[in-house]
Structure 1
Amino acid sequence: MNSKRISSYEIAYTYIGAVIGAGFASGQEIFQFFTVFGVKGLFGIALSTILYIFFGYIIMDLGSEIHGSSYIDILRFSSGKYFSTFMDMMITFFLFMSVISMFAGAGALFEQQFSISTLWGSILMSFITTVTILSGMNGIIHSMSALVPFLLFFIVATSTLSILSFPISLSDLNLYHNPSNLIRNWLLSTVLYFSYNIVIAISVLVPIGGKIKNKNLFIKGSILGGLTLGICCLLINFSLIRIAKQVSTIEIPMLYIAGKISPLIQFVYICILFISIYTTAVGSAFGFINRILNITNKYSKLFTIGMMLIAFLFSNVGFSNLVKYVYPIEGYIGILLLICLLKGKIKLTVKQKR
């Protein structure tokens, strides 16, 4: 990766691309973690935006200072041998679970929209994800930079049209739906939402930080990425609030909403969803492969193909079930990661002052 050619916009797009996956763009995770809490969910979205900016910078800064190539470098620096080994195992496992979730999301998209087996959507997503990973880090950054602006534009456009088509009232904001048994409090829900997303994002942010020394790029990239994620989250949330009861049992709520606006919007959103699934699948798969077997290793291509095949086989669990149960559990592990990051930043600051 040539650091001189990486801009703050590309950093932001890579950050956003790692986070905006099937759960985010489909509306499923926004509904599960924010919409169900009514007006309190708005406070959660504001807090998550701040967390995205703050921790995005910390991850890249730590990666830069310790010349990190993988998240394990930060874990070892901040937490020592034994705890970092435990966290490494958990993060690696959940990165792989994220890949499975993205493949399942592609399958759910094909089934809901085209009434065909989830198998075909999962097959297509696993294939293009594998091809991208085999192209290396440069291929990942370039694919994110090319696709994410297009992705963001249509998420914002569709959400805005939905809000105009289905105006919300104060009474809608006061509605409180049944959240998952694992997340009964809006504050805990926000922390879990952010922490499981950062588990995915750290896998691409650390290598970026390890290659770039200009901290202004980190700051700008984190602010751009965090604010954009927050705005998109808010717009999707407003889209879901008005018809929360109707979409509560639907695998892909935003696709249902897009269909209510117009068939053309629905078709465009199908493309958006597929791209968003792809970007997170790539980010998660890269983090997983790069941790187990360095992406430059001569056996990495064979290993990548084998692991993507296994992920595909496990993707038939069901998309909404993965979001509802696996994501919150991943979030609890992610809280430990946030503590590690804060500890690492404090340790680095103390070390620099000596």
Structure 2
Amino acid sequence: MNEISSILAICGACISFYIGAGFATMQEVVQYEASYGSRFLIVILVAAAIYLYTNISFATNGNRLKLNRGGDIYGVYCGVFGEKIGKCAAMFFDYFSAFFCFMSFVVMCGGANSTLTQQWGAPFGVGAVTLTVLVVVTVVFGLQGIVNALSKIGPIIIAMILLVSVVTSVTGWGNFTGNLTKIDQGTYADVMQQVGGGNPLASGASYGGFVILWFAAFLSELGAKNKLKDVNIGMLLSAIFIFFAAGVCCVALIGHIDATAAADIPALVLAEQISPVVAVAFAIIICAGIYTSATPLLWTAVRKLADEGTVKYKAITVLAGAVGCGIACFVPYKELINVLYGLNGYLGFVLVFAMVAYDLRTKMSLKHGVENETAGIDR
């Protein structure tokens, strides 16, 4: 794979990973960003800054230390707390991130259920089962197979999201300013769930924080197995597309807030503003977005418990997929996003403090020619 192809593949994979059920349905955009009305840009900028710093750090340290497993990155960062506390903290983050990724996979199954039921009237459960089968089959092929699959789908998803958002931003522009005022006044507070308790900085920290534990193992292992320059450029490009799209989505959602505030799948409401045909096409795109996030999420959880290619790895993949699918059929989708993403966002942001301390210490050590590459890694 040449350099340009590698960069584009990594960019596409990062976009695909980030744009899962929450983003593709725009439910998380409503809860984290649009619900803040005139302050939504603050949330986007905070989240973007966290995304860029943490992912560069993951890839850089994964590459520098040549980690065998992406989850070992927690031991690297938590080593700043000292041997005993660091080991306990690393173990907590390693296991919690695997658990959270598994529960996020459950969220994706819930999104698939809601999408197929809302758009096509499919019996509840069909979406989760279909998604689980596709994800399990992909995860069985391991990390490189996942990157290959995701890299081709991501750009298509972001293009469709931008198309629908741009068109509905134009059609709703006349209502945009008035709707911003309504949101700021709390008009939709009873139907529109919000992360951050009214604080856009807290919402941005939570939004940037929840993907920290999504991307930690994924980017660290990609960094270890690929050219660092390719990984970082690909990730930077993904950030531009992702957060630009988030801003446009907010404008579109706010312009049509009367219809989108209480919707389970706000993106479909916007698509239907254009035409029923576009709504059908966008429902397919949402399903693709759900698949592209669900796949690496399940991989991250399973990878903690088994090595790729082993019988144990394949068995756990099938079992975890079945259990996650079952949970999604009994827990409401909107509540899953609000509680799970919010909690993980704050815990993920705690990790940032250890990351900053480690990166500063490493920079100083490298500057003085002293580097301890194994510090904090529990091998």
TM-score scaled by length of structure 1 = 0.94
Please, which runs of 5 or more residues in structure 1 have no aligned partner? none
Superposed, 1:332-351 pairs within 5 Å as 332-351=346-365
1:307–1:335 CA distance, 2 compared to 1 (3 A): same
Runs of 4+ in 1 over 4 A off after TM superposition: 2-6
Unaligned runs of 5+ in 2: 79-85, 371-379
Give the secondary-structure state (helix, strand or coil) at the position aligned to 1:299: helix
**Displacement after TM superposition at 1:6 (Å):** 6.1
How big is each residue's C-alpha offset from its partner over 1:71-94, in whole Å with a ceiling of 9 and x where there is no partner?
Answer: 431111121311111111221111
Is this contact kept in 2: 1:132–1:282, CA < 8 A?
A: yes
Residue 181 of structure 1 and its aligned partner are, at CA, apart by: 6.9
Mapped to 2, the partners of 1:182 and 1:232 lie a distance apart of 21
1:195 paired to 2:195:
no
Q: How many residues align?
A: 352
Contact 2:157 2:289 in 1 (8 A): yes
1:93 aligns to 2:93 (yes or no)? no
In 2, Cα distance between equivalents of 1:246 and 1:48: 26
What residue number does 1:40 align with?
39
- Match for 2:179 among 167, 172, 177? 172
1:314 aligns to 2:347 (yes or no)? no
Contact 2:7 2:233 in 1 (8 A): yes
Q: What residue in structure 2 maps to residue 53 of structure 1?
A: 52
Q: Does structure 1 conserve the Cα–Cα contact (< 8 Å) formed by 2:73 and 2:216?
A: no
Which one-letter code corresponds to 2:62 in the other structure?
G
User: Which amino acid letter does the alignment assign opposite residue 50 of structure 1?
Assistant: A
- Which residue number corresponds to residue 275 of structure 2? 262
Query: Is the contact made by 2:33 and 2:40 (CA closer than 8 Å) also made in structure 1?
Result: yes
Whole-angstrom CA distance in 1 between matches of 2:332 and 2:351: 27
User: In 2, distance between residues paired with 1:314 and 1:340?
Assistant: 33
- 1:297 is displaced (CA, Å) by 2.8
Deviation string for 1:183-241 (max 9, x for gaps)? 321110011011102221223211100112x3322331222011111111111111110
Using the TM superposition, give the Cα deviation of residue 115 of structure 1 relative to its aligned residue in structure 2, in angstroms: 1.7
Whole-Å separation in 2 of the counterparts to 1:322 and 1:67: 35
* 1:250 and 2:256 correspond: no
Moved more, 322-331 or 94-103: 322-331
* Distance (Å, rounded) in 1 between the aligned partners of 2:69 and 2:37: 38
Q: Which amino acid aligns with 2:306?
A: L
Give the aligned partner of residue 168 of structure 2. 162
Structure with higher Rg: it is 2
2:345 corresponding residue in structure 1: 331
Give 1:281's aligned amino acid.
A
Paired residues for 1:126-141 under 5 Å: 126-141=132-147
Query: What SS is found at the alignment partner of 1:118?
Result: coil
Q: Given the superposition, is the C-alpha separation of residues 183 and 16 from structure 1 closer, same or farther in structure 2, using an over 3 Å criterion?
A: farther
TM-score calculated relative to the size of structure 2: 0.88
**Quick check: 1:15–1:204 contact (8 Å CA) kept in 2?**
no
Q: Could you tell me the percent identity over the aligned residues?
A: 22
